Structure 1
Amino acid sequence: MSHELAYLKYIVLYPQFNPIPVGVFNQTPFSFSSYQKAWNSGIEFADVGEISDMLEHNPLLNQMLLMQGAALAVKDVSSMQYPLILGDVENVCGWPKELFFNEGVEAYIAKIPLADQPGLEEMTKSINAYVAALPPEKIKSFRAIFDYRMIRKDGRVARICQESIVLKTDQQGNILFFLALVSDISHVKRIDKQHLHLTDGTEHLLFEVDDTNQCSPLDLLSKREVEILKLLNQSLTSDQIAEKLFISVHTVNTHRQKMIRKMGMADTTDLLNFLKVYRLL
């Protein structure tokens, strides 16, 4: 199945930092209420107690997050609140976790630059539609990885990677509780475009938010391309890779340039970093 067909199948207030991208004027303006709708916020109230208890009383989990410089939160979709927040929130997001505890998801979204908010909404729609179409046995294998920028309290802009799984859905497949693991990837992702990786453990779909803030499918790398990248990640030279794979050096270099163009990266280092962040390598 082509990525275009797969996409058809599964259908966060600081404007001074970024101009509105080309094409945004033809779309409905972003608002928090539209973001809520993307989360199917009309669902019935759900009890988060059992999920919070399971995660909150786990000191090793919080310590691990602090050591890794990451933060974790449970999003209650029905209330748009974070009943549980763990880890190094201020280091990652630039704001104290009490802000998000007290003011919820709306406060978090408000810290995301205006230019990234429409793309985040579209990625959210794709995530929810994808999950709703999954059979129950595939929900536990679902993972979404995506990125957006965040304006920190000190004025710096960081790029955040969010990796999420579904904790609970209702009978219609709507997400009730969403677990989000966030980390600062500013040092490894230098390109401005937002990306989304959806997987059910078997299938992998990769999207790029284009200039009209739509999620456009990207072709995944071939088996041979992944083989070459894994060897590049081991710091092998083109000559060494060619010898190991019984192909010419020219073929190795051609594959390298093709992969860089295919993923819209600047060089091999950017490509490797991107694929590792999105767990595609």
Structure 2
Amino acid sequence: MENYREATYNEWERDQKAIDFLVQSHRQLEQVLPKGGMFFYIKNLQSQHFEYIGKQVTEITGVPYERCLEHGMAAALEKIHPSDRSIIMGELLEDILDVLKSVPVEEQKEVITTFNYRFFHEPLNTWIHLQDRFFMVASDPMGRPALMLGYCMRVDTPFQHVHGCIRHQRGTEPEQILHEFSYYADPAFRTLTHREIEILTLLAKGLSSKLIASELGLVTSTVDTHRRKLLRKTGMENVAHLVSKAVQMGVVTVEEPGEPES
């Protein structure tokens, strides 16, 4: 995939020949993928239609292949969970565009976005969890994203919010994280830092401040400070209420329900 993406950068021109090259390459890739593994897509951001979409889209999402070709993104959007769809079409897209604006146009093809969301699989009559990973392969004359290449797969870990990250991959250099996001339904939880989420996760497992400090290489007083910040930011009365709310919203998960330390 990495070699292919590099070839795409070097060869890309905004004409039908380039699109045909992309389509043919991904048809070959999909022949070696397991059934229901993932599907590739090439989306025109101006028309909101797919230049190409893999036939495994039906196996993975339940949406008929022909419907995707005919209706483009609309066929998928109507099946995304309403709260996730609102976030994706509003806040997430705005954040992606803001990040891309901070990157030189010639480097935007190196920016990779990954995010998860809930999707209704109509034939199975159930909600499933999907992950999209995509990057831009062309911009319009104004420097705005025009064509994206991505792939979508089903993920087994349930979540109750849209989350993911935007990375910058420069050749063989380590990926640079440009932006991480977790769009929880309660805005208060969106302000939590990565460290606060770590501590909240360990609190949900019933660990004391002393054990959390040992686990994370911190001093106990620092963990206690983070606990107070967690309560203040979320407006919760105590850790038990905080953990209960966090589990309900999918911020953290617990393998075995238990009474957390107050």
Equivalent of 1:194, from 141, 162, 168?
162
Q: C-alpha distance in 1, partners of 2:217/2:116? A: 37
Q: Which amino acid counterpart does residue 159 of structure 1 have in structure 2?
A: H
Gaps of 5+ in 1: 1-45, 233-240, 273-281
Query: SS of the residue aligned with 1:172?
Result: coil
Deviation at 1:210, TM superposition (A): 3.6
2:121 corresponds to 1:152: yes
Q: C-alpha distance in 1, partners of 2:25/2:72? A: 21
Query: SS of the residue aligned with 1:164?
Result: strand
| CA contact 1:75–1:179 (8 Å) conserved in 2 | yes
Q: C-alpha distance in 1, partners of 2:138/2:111? A: 12
Cα 1:209/1:245, change in 2 over 3 Å? closer
Gaps of 5+ in 2: 1-13, 169-175, 203-211, 231-241, 254-262
Q: C-alpha distance in 2, partners of 1:50/1:215? A: 45
Cα 1:126/1:158, change in 2 over 3 Å? same
| CA contact 1:71–1:182 (8 Å) conserved in 2 | yes
Count residues with an aligned counterpart: 214
Cα 1:58/1:207, change in 2 over 3 Å? closer
Q: Which amino acid counterpart does residue 74 of structure 1 have in structure 2?
A: I
Deviation at 1:181, TM superposition (A): 1.4
2:63 corresponds to 1:95: yes
Query: SS of the residue aligned with 1:130?
Result: helix
Deviation at 1:101, TM superposition (A): 1.3
Q: Which residue of 1 aligns with 2:194?
A: 221
Q: Which residue of 2 aligns with 1:71?
A: 39
Q: Which residue of 1 aligns with 2:22?
A: 54
Deviation at 1:242, TM superposition (A): 9.1
TM-score (normalised: structure 2)? 0.61
Q: Which residue of 2 aligns with 1:182?
A: 152
Q: CA offsets per residue over residues 78-134 of structure 1, 9 Å max, x none?
A: 221111112621232112322201221111212223333211111122222322332
Equivalent of 1:204, from 179, 192, 196?
179
Q: Which residue of 1 aligns with 2:239?
A: none
2:50 corresponds to 1:82: yes
Deviation at 1:145, TM superposition (A): 1.5
Q: C-alpha distance in 1, partners of 2:56/2:84? A: 23
Deviation at 1:50, TM superposition (A): 0.5
Within-5 A mapping of 1:1-281 = 47-66=15-34, 69-86=37-54, 88-122=56-90, 123-154=92-123, 155-185=125-155, 187-191=156-160, 193-200=161-168, 201-211=176-186, 218=191, 221=194, 266=247
Kindly indicate whether structure 1 or structure 2 has the higher relative contact order, using CA contacts under 8 Å at least 6 residues apart: 1
Deviation at 1:163, TM superposition (A): 1.2
| Higher Rg | 2
Cα 1:157/1:202, change in 2 over 3 Å? closer
TM-score (normalised: structure 1)? 0.58
Deviation at 1:142, TM superposition (A): 0.7
Q: C-alpha distance in 2, partners of 1:163/1:49? A: 24
Q: Which amino acid counterpart does residue 104 of structure 2 have in structure 1?
A: P
Over the residues paired in the alignment, what is the CA RMSD in angstroms?
4.4
Cα 1:243/1:197, change in 2 over 3 Å? closer
> % of aligned pairs identical?
19
